[in-house]
Each structure stands twice: as C-alpha cells, then as structure tokens.
Structure 1
Amino acid sequence: MAVRQRRRTRHLLLCGAFLAGCCGPAAQAWGQIRADAPALPVLGDAARGDLSPVMERKLGEEIMRDIRRDIDFLDDAPILEYLNTFGSGLVASHPGARGETNADYYFFAVRDSQLNAFALPGGFIGVHSALLLAAQTESELASVLGHEVGHVAQRHIARMIGQQKQDALIPLAAMVLAALAARGSGDAAMGVMAGGQGLAIQRQLNFTREAEREADRVGFQIMSEGGYDTSGMVAFFGRLQTASRAYSDLMPASLRSHPLTSERIADIQARIRDVPYRQHVDNLEFQLIRARARVLQDGSTQGLAEATAAFELQQKSQNRQQQIGAQYGLAFVALKRDQLPQAQAMLDRARATLRRTEGAFSTGQAGSDGAAVFAALALDIKLAPGQSAAVKLQGLKDAELAHQQFPLARGLACQYADALILNGKPDEATRFLREQVLQYREEPKLHELLSKAYAAQGKQALQHIALAEQYALSGGKQAALDQLAIARKAGDASFYDMALIDARERELKTLRLEEIKEAKKAGRPDEGR
C-alpha cells in the first residue's frame, strides 16, 4: 500500500497543482490557504510566455504517460468511451469551452475511494471511480466535468505560472500535492510543509478562490447549454461538502478549513433562480458505466463481495434503469470470479429487463441505450479463458457484428481483433489491425494486439517492432529501444524491417536523451523507462 500511495502521489495528484483546485475536498481546502486572495489576473503575454499552449499540452501528455502506467488507471474501454462521449458533448454545447488554446480534451478515470476530479495541463480531465459512484444523475456528473473544463478553458495553469518560472513551480507543486496525497501520514505532511515552504505555497495559490468560482461559472454555463438540470451542481456540491468533513481529520492542519463550498453553493443557487428548470432524463448507459466502475474499483474478494451486496440491494429499486444496472453489475462480478455460466445468465436477465422496459423511458441520444456496453461484456464472457471452441467461435461472429454496428467503438474493435487471434485467424487479425493502426496510430492497445497477431504468425521481428511501438506510446522509451534491439537480432527481419528499426531507434534515442537531461535539470532521478 505504501508503494501504491507513493505512485499515486507522483502520477495522479501532481495534476491538481497546475490548476489550483479540483472538485474534491482536499483541493477546496487547499484554496483556503489564503483568505485574502485577489481577483484573477488578466491573461496576457506574460502568462503565455511562461507556459505556451504547446508546452501546456506537452506537460499534460508527460503526466498522462505516467498515469497510464499506474495500476490505478482504469484502462477500461467502455468507461473511457462513455466519459469521452459524455465530455465531448459537454464541450460541444458551449462555444467557449475549448478556450483560446482550442484545447483537445481527453477524459479518463482512476481507481480511488475519494470523491474528486482533476484537470491536467492541456485538457486531460480525470475522474475518481468513487465520484462516478457518488454521482446520482448525469446532471451531477456534468456539473463536475463542466467545472474541470472551466479550469482548462480559463487557462488557470498559465495564470498560476504568470509570476513564476515553470522549472521552479513544478517541484513545488509536487511537494504540495505530496502533502495532500500523504494526508494519512502526519510525518510525510510535516516534512513537506517544513522549511518555510508554507509561505511559498501561499504565494503560488493567491488566485485559487476566484479560480474555483470562475470554473463554477463556466461549468454552470456548460451544463445549462448542454441541456442538463443545473440543480445537479448544487446537489453534488452538497455531497462533496459532506464528504469533506469525513476527510478533514486526515489532512494537514493548514489545509483543513474549506468554507468555500457553502459560498459556492450559494452562488450557484442564485444563478439557478435565473434559469428555467429543465429536466434531464438520464441515459441507461450511465447506470451500466457506474456498475463497471463499482466492480473495477476493488477487484479483491472482499471488494467483489461488497459490490455484489450493493447490486443486490440496487435490484430492489423501483427504477428500471437501476435494476438493469444492478443485473449488469452482477454479471460483471460473475465474470471476474470466472463464473462464466452465471455471468451469461445474469447478462441475459439484464437484457430481458431492458426489453420489457423499452418505451418506458427516453434514452436521450442515439446509442445511449447501452447496446455497445452490453456487447462488450457479452464478448468478454464468450472469449474468456475456459470457454469452449464453439462458444469462442460464436464470440467471433458476435464481435464482427458489434464492430459493424459500432465502428467507432475502439474497445469493440480491439475485442474483434482479439477474437480473430483466439479463433486461429492471425492473418485476418493482422490485416484488420494494420488498417486500424493507420487510422489510430497513437493507440497502444492496437500495437499490443498487432504484436500478438504477429507472434501467432511466427513473425518475430515484426512482433517486437509492434511491441516497441506499444511501449513507446505508453511512455516507456527505454523498453521500446530494448524491443527494437531484440527485433534487430531476429532471424526473419527483412531489409525494410531493418531500415524501420534503424530510423525508430534514432528517434527514440534522441527522445530518451532529452528525458535524461530533463530529469537531471529538475533534480529528480531518471526512472530508466
């Protein structure tokens, strides 16, 4: 647990420092370090000079490479696709959501038991799994994501760095959030806060109070224009306020007080009075994604038992969407326990409940009845280890149909490729994956599957070249170089393969040297990735 906590400190919580506050209680408390915070500065050339949009994006991508390697990153295709579809819809609803940098947003989830969300430099927005479970409606989720989009759109990173050199700020930010991450350890928190760092932290966070209010205002506009119930923001703020009381005793003393929540709730309530009430009917997919998050939050025996108990209680709800979500969740739990017949039976039950309910509620948007999410779990069951050859063959047929029905669903495309490999069709898998890689070059999973397909064909050089691309895209440049070295020694490497290896090695070695120099300049150890 100590190692896991340190990794979370380094990879996840670093992000909040750049945006001076997230939705969670720790960040709200952080904003209380200075009660006399001045108004937000006007963005000008100084801010742009200190952190250009290009540098902002680069910084976010660098942090994301670390996050993707973290064991708590929820690399779950249905969750990622839902969050990005949902988040993209929010961004599209508000003309100013992309800000002056025309931010390209990416939404993702991490496994964490605390209610929180955060924004990284460059438009990367993360959501804790506990927050997905705590959000009772899509309007509440929209209030959180809208708030984080507001941070990005208003360039709060550049505002923070306006009076500081980024080389000095980054290690300071890491120390601040090390204290927050280690709030269960008084010794760690005291060590970080010692040596006069408290005054430096205050200088960095002078604008935090206004930044949070500004993000609230932008989030409120996004919610309203996106067709969501704006009262969901007040409801969720209230839940955060309650949760913050539970967390406060674990925080460093200087970070415990955070009355901002009450002020922010009052501000949003005043805004709601000026907006006509608009009811938003949630999509079924929201409940299915929450069910997946509950199961993936804790895969231990105890965690699955607790998830089962929660789903069994949820089944008693009078709300049909809740019932379907619970049945879907129980099917997912059974799959995690390798109880394949039970998983299939419960998934069939969920689908039957959905058929009986058709027409009883509006789905709001095309495809939001959860068909793709149902298909993903059905394929996981049919393609699971231990299934018969006949069941896996049926899984291949189902995967092909699902990919045809949802051609943009990246998870289903990967499942189709995996089904081809499992059913002894590596040639077809290779052709399909090469086409996919041409369209989605930056997707590590495709290169991983391509490596697997090449291995099934006995093509060793191509197998390790594909694996090198997977590692490079995941931030492991040294590991990628190691794979290229293996590919070079493979007996089946063609002249073209060798030329490709040479070119890629030169590129990766240059990037690797830059990494080493940056680590040395920042005074941190090089991890030899």
Structure 2
Amino acid sequence: MRTSLFFKQQRLRRIFRILVFPLLFTFITQPLAYAQYSNLPTLGDTARGELSPLMEYKIGVEIMRRIQMDPDYIEDEVISEYLNNIGHKLVNATPDVRGETGNDFHFFALRDQTLNAFALPGGFIGVHTGLLLAAQSESELASVLSHEIGHVSQRHIARMIGNQKQDMLIPIAALVLAAIAGAAKQTDAAGALVMGGQGLAVQKQLNFNRDAEREADRVGFLILKNAGFDTNGMVLFFERLQRANRHYGEGFSAYLRTHPLTSERIADVEARVRSESYRQHADSPDFYYVRIRAELLQDESAKGMETAAANFQEMIKIGSRLPASAGYYGQALLALKQNDTMKAASLLQEAKKLVGDKAAQASLALISTSIDIKIAGRQPAEAAREALTALSRFPASRALSHRYAGALYHAGNYDGAAQYLRKQAQLYRSDPMVHGMLAKVYGAQEKIALMHIELAESYSLSGGLSAALEQLSLARQAPDVTFYDHSIIDAKEREWQAQRLEEMQGK
C-alpha cells in the first residue's frame, strides 16, 4: 500500500513537471479568475501576437523564484557551474541566440529521475538529474542544452502564448489546478482529473510543438557545431531516447512527451551530420564527476547510497581511465558524507592519479572536493590556500569563491572573510549565498545590525520577501544599528514592500 502511494505521488510530480511547466505559460494568460493561484505578472492583450522580450524575461524570473524554493532544486555549485560553463560555451559560440535584448542564459538542475529538460521564458533552462545520468557523452548533454537554447532563441514560448486561443485556456488551467490539487491531496481522483482535462488543448499544443521542435533541432545543431562538439551526439541522444522509451516506458518518456520525436526529425539531423566533416570531442573529466554528484543527490536515502556505492565499485573494477576515476571520486564523496576525511582524501588522490596532474588541476569538481575535505578535516588554513591558488586560475568560479570565504571563516579569520565577501557582494549583487555567508561572519563578529541586513538581502534574493522584511525589523532594533544602517533599512523596506504588494496584486 505504501509503495503504491509512493508511485502515485511520483507520477503526480512527473505530471506536474512534464505537463504543467510547459503549459504554465498559457495558464498565466488566463484572466484574473485564476490570479489567486499565481503571482506571475499579467500579460495584457495577447491578441497582438507574441510576448515582449522584457515581459518574457520577467515571467522567467518569477518562475525561477518559485523553482528555487522547491526542495528538489539542486543548489550543488559544482553541478550548476558545470552546466553553465557548457551552456555559455554553446551560447558564446553563436552570440545571435541571445536575441534582441541580449539576455544571458541560466542553466540549473532539478532532482528528478525522469529523463527530461525544459526551457523557461527568458533563457532559464532546467535539466533533470535523470537526463544527466542518461547522457553518455558531453556532446549528448550539449545537444540537449543546444536544443533548449534553440527554443529560447526562436522565442517559441512567447509565440506559443501570443497564438493561444481562448478555447484552450480553460482546459489547460483546469490541468494546472488539478495537478496542484493532486500534489497536495495525493488522490486518484485528482490524477484522473489531470489526465482527463487535457483534451483538445494539449493535442493542439503538441501539434504546434512539432514545428517548434524541428526549428529547435536546426538551430541547436548549428549551436552544437559552432561550439566544437560532436554533432553526432544529437543523433545518438535521439536514438537513446527512443530505445529508453520503448524498453522502460513512462519513467523515461518525459522528454518525448514535452519534445515530440518523429522519424522525420531523426532523419533530418542524421542528414545534417552526414553533410559535415567528423569532429571528435573529448569529454572533460568533470562530465563524469558531475554525473557522480547527480547520482548521489538524486536518491539520498540509505538504499540510494548503498546502490551508488555498488555502482562506484563496479566502475572501478571494469571501467576505463575516466569511469574508474569517477568511481573513486564517488567513493570519496561517500566517505566525506560519513565524515571519514582521511579515507576521502585517499580516495580522491586515487581519482586524481588516474586523470593526471594537469587534468586534476583543471577540474572544478576535484578541486572543490579537495577543499571540502580539508575544511571538514579541520584544516581550514590549507583549504584557504588551495582555494586561493585555484581562484588565480578560475577567478570567476562561484564554487571556489564561496569555498575560499568558508575556509577563511572556519580558520577564524573573520576580518579577512568579511573584507573578501563585501567585495564579492559588490561584484555579484544577486548571489544570495554571498550575503548569507557575510551575515554568518558578521554574527561571529557580533555586528548584529549588519548581520540582519545581510540575512534580509539573502532572503530577498531567494524569493522570501516576508522573511527579508522581518530581518529588516530586527536590524532596526539591533543595539549597534547606526544612522547609515537606518538609511539602508528604510530604502530596502520601501523597495521590498512595493515588490511584495505588486506580487500580491498579480501585476
């Protein structure tokens, strides 16, 4: 009985992610009768055509705020930085995909076993851990990202919303509401309502999407080629999708439901591959290490850890150089989770040996884990030195920057940590972790007002406006609050109260 309920819950979650996110952009055009269920900005008259780029980006930001509050949003900096490095390599190779507003792209991961990826308005692209684990090469993963970049660059989402007709809005809104009810109540009736509420609306959207998919394939292929990846990776991934769907069914067909795949599409991409000269792309070690981290995050239960440990041992036993190194890396992460830092350091050294010094020094995953082991092993001074050395090679790395600040804090160098974090806060104003770490440092220095101000900034950037305003109130009452602090508190309070009011009104 409990097992059956678990699978029903998982199915409802899949329905929400597979159907609701792609259709959410239609739901938010519904008149105010549905405004109570959404804080997203209203779009006004869509009869004129597609969304403006500015409104499209604003919607994407609002959706991302919600996603970031989901427990399944993965905050692992190594995974996030790796996805963004690959994604920005693709975007930078074909700058025109940024469009008329020049908006940047942001790539993120979600904890979900289904094989899926999706694009949100404004250049936000999500990847499920299941897809990360299913991709067998960096070029396959890059082909998925390039395809999603193609959707954004061609403004398929904006065009979809602009071209929706009123007869599609009610069934799609019903689908959204039923999925939300199903997630909350976990009832079979809600699930039946979800599946029964699709009707003609979903079929119409899928028909539209097939044209969009072919266009995204063409644009994605060009992006993949320009960035130097193996374009055959797109064909291989399509074929993998088909085989997985045929053999494993629903759990693996998520990508196919939101990205309808036809033999015509596969043939078209194959023809494009044949017309190009073969280009080999060597996978980076971090491709393997990131997949290890995704596997551990995907199922954090005791059984999940046991299964992962067996997989890592098998990789070491029968794997070639990179898979074996990844196996040792996985074992090092497991040892670190168990707080056995000596064992973790030894296993990490084995992983480094297999790839060599040059590759190890270029691996964000290996360096970050080495720093984590030193901090956990109460060697913060050594961790700080290693992080600082690595930052000289990767000055823009957020993962290394955060670890350097953390090492300074654990070493008791609060003044150094505060000075460094203040500079980072000026450079990266939208990084909530920087403000959260700075608050922790101020707390250690007993600077109470500044601590609450930085906590407020961190909560605001994470979408928690109410919590942010509460922190401002605490800052105002702090015994060490200054006149200058009061001016900052007043300005931020006015800004955030206006923002919260706007969200409540659904504007």
Q: TM-score, normalised by structure 2?
A: 0.86
Per-residue CA distance 1:280-331 (angstroms, 9 max, x = gap) = 1111221121121112222221111111111111113452111211111111
Whether contact under 8 Å (1:454, 1:463) holds in the other structure is: yes
Q: Which amino acid aligns with 1:83?
A: L
Per-residue CA distance 1:327-347 (angstroms, 9 max, x = gap) = 111111111122222111101
Shift of 1:399: 2.6
Confirm or deny that 1:475 pairs with 2:466.
no
Confirm or deny that 1:274 pairs with 2:275.
yes
Confirm or deny that 1:343 pairs with 2:366.
no
Whether contact under 8 Å (2:46, 2:161) holds in the other structure is: no
- How has the CA–CA distance of structure 1 residues 181 and 201 changed in structure 2, closer, same or farther, with 3 Å as cutoff? farther
Confirm or deny that 1:316 pairs with 2:308.
no
The more displaced of 278-287 and 478-487 is 278-287
Q: Indicate the percent of aligned positions where both proteins have the same amino acid.
A: 51
Q: What is the aligned partner in structure 2 of residue 456 from structure 1?
A: 444
Query: How many Å separate the matches in 2 of 1:292 and 1:230?
Result: 26
Whether contact under 8 Å (2:151, 2:212) holds in the other structure is: yes
Q: Which amino acid aligns with 2:23?
A: A
Which one of 368, 371, 379 corresponds to residue 371 of structure 2?
A: 379
Per-residue CA distance 1:47-87 (angstroms, 9 max, x = gap) = 87551111111111111111111111111111111111111
Confirm or deny that 1:424 pairs with 2:412.
yes
Query: How many Å separate the matches in 1 of 2:162 and 2:224?
Result: 29
Q: Which amino acid aligns with 1:473?
A: L
| Paired residue secondary structure (2:102) | coil
Q: Which amino acid aligns with 1:107?
A: F
| Paired residue secondary structure (2:126) | strand
| Paired residue secondary structure (1:125) | strand
Q: What is the aligned partner in structure 2 of residue 198 from structure 1?
A: 199
The more displaced of 199-208 and 156-165 is 199-208
Q: Which amino acid aligns with 1:458?
A: E
Q: What is the aligned partner in structure 1 of residue 92 from structure 2?
A: 92
- How has the CA–CA distance of structure 1 residues 339 and 173 changed in structure 2, closer, same or farther, with 3 Å as cutoff? farther
Whether contact under 8 Å (1:284, 1:369) holds in the other structure is: no
Q: Which amino acid aligns with 1:87?
A: G
More helix by share: 2
Query: How many Å separate the matches in 2 of 1:171 and 1:105?
Result: 31
Whether contact under 8 Å (2:65, 2:463) holds in the other structure is: yes
Shift of 1:172: 2.9
Q: What is the aligned partner in structure 2 of residue 26 from structure 1?
A: none
Q: Which amino acid aligns with 2:87?
A: G
- How has the CA–CA distance of structure 1 residues 120 and 77 changed in structure 2, closer, same or farther, with 3 Å as cutoff? same
The more displaced of 7-16 and 46-55 is 7-16
Q: What is the aligned partner in structure 1 of residue 189 from structure 2?
A: 187
Per-residue CA distance 1:371-422 (angstroms, 9 max, x = gap) = 33211101111112xx34xx23322332332333322111111111111111
Shift of 1:138: 0.8
Q: What is the aligned partner in structure 2 of residue 245 from structure 1?
A: 246
The more displaced of 264-273 and 430-439 is 264-273
Q: Which amino acid aligns with 1:355?
A: G
Which residues of structure 2 form unaligned runs of 5+? 1-5, 27-44
Q: What is the aligned partner in structure 2 of residue 105 from structure 1?
A: 105
Per-residue CA distance 1:239-285 (angstroms, 9 max, x = gap) = 11223235645799xx9899734332222112222111111111122
Query: How many Å separate the matches in 2 of 1:399 and 1:453?
Result: 18
| Paired residue secondary structure (2:265) | helix
Whether contact under 8 Å (1:442, 1:473) holds in the other structure is: yes
Query: How many Å separate the matches in 2 of 1:219 and 1:180?
Result: 33
Query: How many Å separate the matches in 2 of 1:493 and 1:6?
Result: 49
Query: How many Å separate the matches in 2 of 1:9 and 1:472?
Result: 30
| Paired residue secondary structure (1:162) | helix
Query: How many Å separate the matches in 2 of 1:466 and 1:95?
Result: 36
Q: What is the aligned partner in structure 1 of residue 395 from structure 2?
A: 407
Which residues of structure 1 form unaligned runs of 5+? 21-44, 522-529
Per-residue CA distance 1:457-485 (angstroms, 9 max, x = gap) = 00111101100000100111111011111
- How has the CA–CA distance of structure 1 residues 271 and 11 changed in structure 2, closer, same or farther, with 3 Å as cutoff? closer
The more displaced of 298-307 and 472-481 is 298-307
- How has the CA–CA distance of structure 1 residues 407 and 169 changed in structure 2, closer, same or farther, with 3 Å as cutoff? farther
Query: How many Å separate the matches in 1 of 2:327 and 2:445?
Result: 41
Whether contact under 8 Å (2:16, 2:179) holds in the other structure is: no
| Paired residue secondary structure (1:51) | coil
For 1:327-366, what aligned pairs fall within 5 Å after superposition?
327-355=328-356
| Paired residue secondary structure (2:151) | helix
Q: What is the aligned partner in structure 2 of residue 121 from structure 1?
A: 121
The more displaced of 416-425 and 450-459 is 416-425
Confirm or deny that 1:301 pairs with 2:302.
yes
Q: Which amino acid aligns with 2:410?
A: L
Q: What is the aligned partner in structure 2 of residue 64 from structure 1?
A: 64
| Paired residue secondary structure (1:260) | coil
Per-residue CA distance 1:106-138 (angstroms, 9 max, x = gap) = 111111101111101000011111111111111
Which one of 462, 472, 487 corresponds to residue 484 of structure 1?
A: 472
